[in-house]
Amino acid sequence: MDTTNDTLHADLLVIGFGKGGKAVARTMGGRGKRVVLVERSERMYGGTCPNVGCVPTKALVHHAGKRRGSDPPQEWYERSVEEVQALTALFRRGNYEAMNDAETVTLVTGQATFVDPHTVAVEAGGERLTISAETILINTGAETIIPDTPGMRESKRTLTSTGLIETTILPERLAIVGGGYIGIEFASIYRRFGSRVTVFETSSRILGREDDEAAAVAEGILTDDGIEIVKGAHVTEVRDGETGATVVYEKDGRRHTLEADTILAATGRAPVTRGLGLEAAGVRTTERGAVEVDEYLRTSRPHIYALGDVRGGPQHTYLSLDDSRVVLDQLVGEGRRSVSDRVAVPRTLFMTPPLAAVGLTEKEARAAGHRVRIASKPVAEIVAMPRAYIVEEIRGFMKFVIDAETDEILGAVLLSVDAQELVNTVALAMRHGVKAAELRDAVYNHPTSTEAFNEVLATIVRADEPFERPSGGGSPAC
């Protein structure tokens, strides 16, 4: 690494220790390039996923699912949080060591701010370091938005998802503002730990971006688990009291209140660009505050790229990883790969059982002009899926949206045990043009969840027939 006084000169500067940025840093460092990676917090080495996102939340899903009715909720929860925090510390240390031990990579902890298009200043420990580079990656991620509702931001009872998973006190009464992925996942987790949970959703349904039928079935499962879901509710105020907080909300023109120990703000996440000084670099942002990029992830300055959540769009770790492939193709490849190459990107909500989806919903497919056929069946009626009975989780359903003319799989929603794995098989089939009939007639291992495709895809109805769910059912069979 070239050093002049308090200035570092690098081939590549990466701002943010997220999935995509660290992948590019590691690859370029392995090629002998001089790399500097700047992360503003030592608690975020490795990015959102291993520290405050995928790893701790899914670990909590696991621990919550292991709790028996006789296990004291508070003791079980406190021990679970401690074990999960130990796990995230292990991942964080591994990320730090992997990057810090690389000979051509320099890791700097501090806040980076652009001075000009090729230079940033980093404030760390009262000292100022200047870093210049030929190529710069912005990989600063996203952060939770707390709504500008009177009293909510000021309340001592309001937490973000990050704050909630770090507290060792299990809320007796948890109020969640937001019925999207984050809100529903946390509702499922904390209900299974033993909290009384209420979810407030402004829309007339939860999971507004998902298939209508899937959202309805998911809501039924959640309410059967004891979660209260208040739809069409607008939280208007939060007032702190001596032992908790009062959530004031309006529904159907009437004012209501709810007492809660903890309030989780789960209304979305926004790109982290504050403090970066993007104006000095000439980097434009969108109306929503994301860094503006083209299909090759280049910003308004061609030598500056943006990866992951900070560039807007769906916020998934695996998309950030794929962003690294796009950028690396620009830096050391043929420069052809782009984000428009992505087809059939799956997503999963880790409620219990998980809800996974890929492609178009039925409504989207029809709106796009497709003549569709539907294959759908409740998990409890899938005779060829004994695994659901083996693991004692027969709730949910599976649904495929199929082009009536080509037999192409346009989309699928899987609300079932193992859905987070099943959806990858469907996505792979969609990417490679595997038809619905081929997926239906494939030979799958037994007893697995995948073999449910044999039966579900055999329920296809013609495009000109009204879809009616088959009545009756059967016992699992081998």
Question: How would you class 150 by CB atoms within 10 Å of its CB: exposed for 0-12, middle for 13-18, buried for 19 or more?
Answer: middle
Instruction: Pick the catalytic residue from 62, 256, 303, 446.
Output: 446
Please, which residues bridge with residue 356 across strands? 348, 414
CA distance 86 to 166: 11
**The amino acid at 397:** F
**Residue 151 — φ and ψ, nearest 5°?**
85, -15
CA distance 437 to 459: 11
**Residue 467 — φ and ψ, nearest 5°?**
-80, 125
CB 71 within 8 A of CB 82: no
**The amino acid at 126:** G
Structure tokens belonging to residue 124: 């760390």
Is the dihedral angle over the CA atoms 419, 425, 430, 431 positive or is it negative? Answer: positive
CA distance 478 to 476: 7
Structure tokens belonging to residue 401: 């949206």
Of 76, 88, 102, the C-alpha closest to 22 is: 102
Of 478, 245, 306, 465, the C-alpha closest to 371 is: 465
Is residue 62 flagged as an active site residue?
A: no
Place of tokens 């959806």: 423
Residues designated as active site? 446
